[in-house]
Amino acid sequence: MSVITAQRAPGAAKQRAPRGRGRARDGALAWLTLAPAIIVMAVLLWYPVSSTIRYSFTDWNGAGADWVGLTNYTDPLFGGQFFELIRTNLVFLAAIPPLLLICVAVSVAIHDQVPGWRIFRSVYYLPTVLSAAVVGLLMRILFSPTGAVNGFLTGIGLGGLAQDWLGQTHTAFAVLLAAFYWQTLGQGVLIFMAGLSTINAELIEQAKVDGAGWWRRLFSIVLPLLRPTIAYFLLTNVIYVLVDLIGLVLVSTGGGPGRSTTPLDYMIYLTAFQEGELGAASALAVMLLVIAFSCSWLQVRMLERMN
């Protein structure tokens, strides 16, 4: 037996050697294929992020940088400025759950082919093709002191309700939220229509036979089966209201009155390019990155537990 084993060992070694070289060659080919994407990611993402983190600990004016440690973080956090800025984002975050219910209700109504459902499907989606800047400009024109909204109120005898909608904090927030709802509704309806197409129609029909009303079917059958779609809708909109409100706010309210409607991403722009404090702006950007990443991670974890 030992002689046979000794005779087979060299042959086995000869067979293993080419296999090992093949794996190494495949690995090298894989890294070579991924190299262009890795280089692009390093240049366009990793280097800017690492540079932002490094400059967030300095007093940087674009030409020179002096080390200041944690000052750029402690000043907004303990000075109260950060919580004033995040307030605008929190208002939009609180507005997402009602928007979700509206999108689901409209999607189910269209899915059930209520009268005029084809027209509604097109009308709801039209605002989605407009950019945030265009929507913000429309809101600014409509709600200006001499705009169409005040003109309509005056025309129907309600001139006492006419006001400077964008000049007061509570009405400015109302205009921004209306624009957010109007632009996002079509996208949400499209997402939930896709989710509804995956639900077995027999479940809905059986519920109708059992006497379940529309709202009962919505909360007992539709919403539980739409959990992955709901998670996707929440994730994308939470990221949007954290990092992408600048276009809508800049064109519509300009962050005013004062800075009462200024979101964190817009404040980063103001701090960097109007006040010239690039180090402080870098610190705000790092804070925003941590908040957005944490919210996204928590939502993904919650989705995994729900499944």
| Mean per-residue pLDDT, 259-271 | 91
**287 pLDDT exceeds 90?**
yes
Nearest to 175 by CA among 167, 166, 184: 166
Per-residue pLDDT at 307 = 65
Does residue 257 have a cis bond before it (omega within 30 degrees)? yes
State the Cα–Cα distance between residues 269 and 282, nearest whole angstrom.
Answer: 10
Coil/strand/helix, residue 297: helix
**156 pLDDT exceeds 70?**
yes
Coil/strand/helix, residue 121: helix
- pLDDT category of residue 119 using cuts at 50, 70 and 90: confident
Count of H helices and E strands in the chain? 16, 2
Greatest Cα-to-Cα distance within the chain, rounded to the nearest angstrom: 109
State the Cα–Cα distance between residues 238 and 232, nearest whole angstrom.
Answer: 10
HEC profile of 212-272: CCHHHHHHHHHHHHCHHHHHHHHHHHHHHHHHCCHHHHHHHCCCCCCCCCCCHHHHHHHHH
| Mean per-residue pLDDT, 236-254 | 91
**9 pLDDT exceeds 70?**
no
Per-residue pLDDT at 92 = 94
By the 10 Å C-beta count (0-12 exposed, 13-18 middle, 19+ buried), 125 is classed as middle
Per-residue pLDDT at 66 = 86
Contacts of 266 (CB under 8 A, 6+ apart): 245, 246, 249, 250, 255
Which domains does the chain show, CATH number per domain?
75-306 (1.10.3720.10)
Place of tokens 């674009």: 62
Torsion of CA 29, 30, 36, 37, to 10 degrees: 170
Q: Check: CB of residue 95 under 8 Å from CB of residue 300.
A: no
| Mean per-residue pLDDT, 40-69 | 85
Q: What are phi and psi of 211, to 5 degrees?
A: 90, 10
Query: Around Cβ 270, how many Cβ atoms within 10 Å?
Result: 17
State the Cα–Cα distance between residues 269 and 259, nearest whole angstrom.
Answer: 13
- Of 102-116, 152-166, 234-248, give the lowest mean pLDDT range: 102-116
Per-residue pLDDT at 4 = 46
Q: Check: CB of residue 198 under 8 Å from CB of residue 172.
A: no
| Mean per-residue pLDDT, 185-195 | 89
**124 pLDDT exceeds 50?**
yes
